[in-house]
Amino acid sequence: MYNLFVTAQDGAWESLGYEYDRSRFLEYTNESLAEKFKTLGAEQIEYLKNIPCIFAYEGFRGGVKIGRLMDIRERGKTIVIEYEFHPRIQAIPHEQIEQISTLLDIRKWEMSRTHWAIKDENLFDRLRSSGLAHRNTQDWPQRALSRRQPSETKSQTSRVSTVAGFIKKVLTEIESNGAEVFYRGHSDRRKYKLEPSLFRKDDRGNYIYLHNEHILYRELIVSNADDFDADHHTLDRLVRMQHYSLPTRLLDITSNPLIALYFACKSKYGELKNGTYEGEIEGEVIVFSVSAKDIKYFDSDKASCIANLARLPKTEKDAIDFSISDGATFNEQLSIKRLTHFIRAEKPFFEPEIVPSHLKDIVCIKSKKNNARIHSQSGAFLLFGLDTALNESGSENIKITRISVSNKAEILVELDRLNINESTVFPYIESSAKYVANKYGFIAPKV
């Protein structure tokens, strides 16, 4: 196993350290491996310091250097690394490293994006067998640390198996401290993460939709223009697209805890055998506490800035230089000017004074309840900015606690008694018909 560090910043690997956006960590990393490093605890940090590294510039320009990590620190939304280079391996020319890139699991488009990946390949074995390192070259003088891979980590606060138990937890243990509280249900607490559908990756860690966000946005409008006639803001269109299951940078949350509990239970509750459900997969309800001052509405300027990123092609989003500290100069960039153009189309008096940090934020949005589903589900959203990830344990502005949910089939029965079911959560005639058919279908009596 090894770390792959890629940057577009000239001269980055000539300094003593480097800083990555937290969202760029674990890109192009196999999903099963990424799960073990989502949280950078002491065990994960020590393991990463004990495996070798490739330090490269985008496009392999200038070749690559081999080294190891000396320190890893999380600093807000970034991760700071310190490193040293291997004393007996010279810089490897780009032609030679490209020849073995497939063997190192370095993928076709990977070298065009700044990121930090973890690869499940033996770097030194590959270098030695390819003649890029002497066959007697040792990995490193071994540190007195374990090389056992860390286990998956995901904090849990409590467990419930009944609706009554869940309501008690919510009413007595969830402290809002003046903040507004929202909820989200996952039917599989080990599989699902707090990320919008646009940011989802395949099993190898490759983004499925992100590179074509601007095309997804336009194609759905082209195909269904009448459905978007009443939407004046890009955010309104993204909400409607989310409603129709198009991947967007929105993550659904709800102000109704019972709705979240329903989604935590509505699938993967096992198979009914001999009157009991077997093979259930544990679900969870995630509880978000957000300060009232950090909650935005559908007409927020900040929300418009983030939402309109959906209309910029990937090349233009990648071209935004966030290292520019002067606000006026930052707003003179061509990509930012085009973003301002999109915003002014919905807000003619918008001033070209975009705050760089706003584009990288996660914002809690109360949108218009302009369709029956949002209304019935007491819906709200988290709107994700550029290169932004929500830590599974929460952030400075979004506090997170978790409630594990088991006995899901029985909880669904209890929720039905409270009129929380497929017919009311999805208020369409198809859902109502399915609910009625299931409820009144014939069930063979127990023998």
- What band does 372 get if pLDDT is binned at 50, 70 and 90? low
Contact between 426 and 379 (Cβ < 8 Å): no
Instruction: Give 329-342 pLDDT, tens digit per residue.
Output: 999 999 999 999 99
More confident residue, 142 or 26: 26
* Residue 295 exposed, middle or buried by CB count within 10 Å (0-12, 13-18, 19+): middle
* Beta-bridge partner residues of 381: 252, 365
What gap in Å lies between CA 445 and CA 275, rounded to an integer? 10
What gap in Å lies between CA 438 and CA 266, rounded to an integer? 14
What gap in Å lies between CA 376 and CA 397, rounded to an integer? 27
Q: Which regions of 76-199 does DSSP assign to beta strands (E)? A: 78-85, 115-119, 158-160, 180-186
Residue 130 has pLDDT above 60, yes or no: yes
The predicted pLDDT at position 146 comes to 46
Q: What is the average pLDDT across 86-109? A: 90
* Beta-bridge partner residues of 287: 183, 401
The predicted pLDDT at position 415 comes to 95
Q: What is the average pLDDT across 15-40? A: 89
Contact between 183 and 264 (Cβ < 8 Å): no
Classify each residue of 58-88 as buried b or exposed e, where b means 16 or more C-beta atoms within 10 Å of its C-beta.
eebeeebbbbbbeebeeeebebebebeebee
Residue type, 294: D
Tokens 């770390």 belong to residue: 3
What gap in Å lies between CA 134 and CA 92, rounded to an integer? 13
Instruction: Give 316-362 pLDDT, tens digit per residue.
Output: 999 999 989 899 999 999 999 999 999 999 999 999 899 999 999 99
Percent of the chain whose predicted confidence (pLDDT) is above 90: 59
Residue 447: strand, helix, or coil: coil
- For the chain, the average pLDDT equals 87
User: Which residues, 6+ apart, have CB-to-CB distance to 423 below 8 Å?
Assistant: 431, 432, 435, 436
Phi/psi of residue 16, each to 5°? -90, -15
Residue 223 has pLDDT above 50, yes or no: yes
Instruction: Give 398-436 pLDDT, tens digit per residue.
Output: 999 999 999 999 999 999 999 998 888 886 655 556 656
The predicted pLDDT at position 152 comes to 56
DSSP state of 376: H
- What band does 156 get if pLDDT is binned at 50, 70 and 90? low
- Residue from 363, 364, 360 nearest 385 by CA: 360
Q: Minimum mean pLDDT among 4-18, 155-169, 204-218, 394-408: which range?
A: 155-169
Residue 444: strand, helix, or coil: coil
Tokens 């250097």 belong to residue: 65
What gap in Å lies between CA 113 and CA 284, rounded to an integer? 34
Q: What angle do CA 426, 431, 436 make, to 5 degrees?
A: 125
Phi/psi of residue 365, each to 5°? -120, 130
Residue 17 has pLDDT above 80, yes or no: yes
User: Which residues, 6+ apart, have CB-to-CB distance to 210 below 8 Å?
Assistant: 198, 199, 314
Q: What is the average pLDDT across 128-148? A: 64
DSSP state of 369: -
DSSP 337-355: HHHHHHHHHH-TT--S---
Residue 145 has pLDDT above 50, yes or no: no
Regarding pTM above 0.95, the answer is: no
Contact between 382 and 238 (Cβ < 8 Å): no
More confident residue, 354 or 269: 354
211, two tokens: 């590179």
The predicted pLDDT at position 352 comes to 87
264 CB neighbour count, 10 Å cutoff: 30
- What band does 194 get if pLDDT is binned at 50, 70 and 90? very high
Q: What is the CA radius of gyration of the chain?
A: 25
The predicted pLDDT at position 429 comes to 59
Residue 310 has pLDDT above 50, yes or no: yes
What gap in Å lies between CA 315 and CA 147, rounded to an integer? 39
The predicted pLDDT at position 392 comes to 84
- What band does 367 get if pLDDT is binned at 50, 70 and 90? confident
More confident residue, 142 or 48: 48
Residue 270: strand, helix, or coil: coil
Phi/psi of residue 314, each to 5°? -55, -40
Q: What is the average pLDDT across 242-263? A: 94
- Residue from 268, 271, 347 nearest 307 by CA: 347
342, two tokens: 């999109």
Sign of CA dihedral 184, 189, 192, 193: positive
For residue 72, the Cα-to-chain-centroid distance in whole angstroms is 21
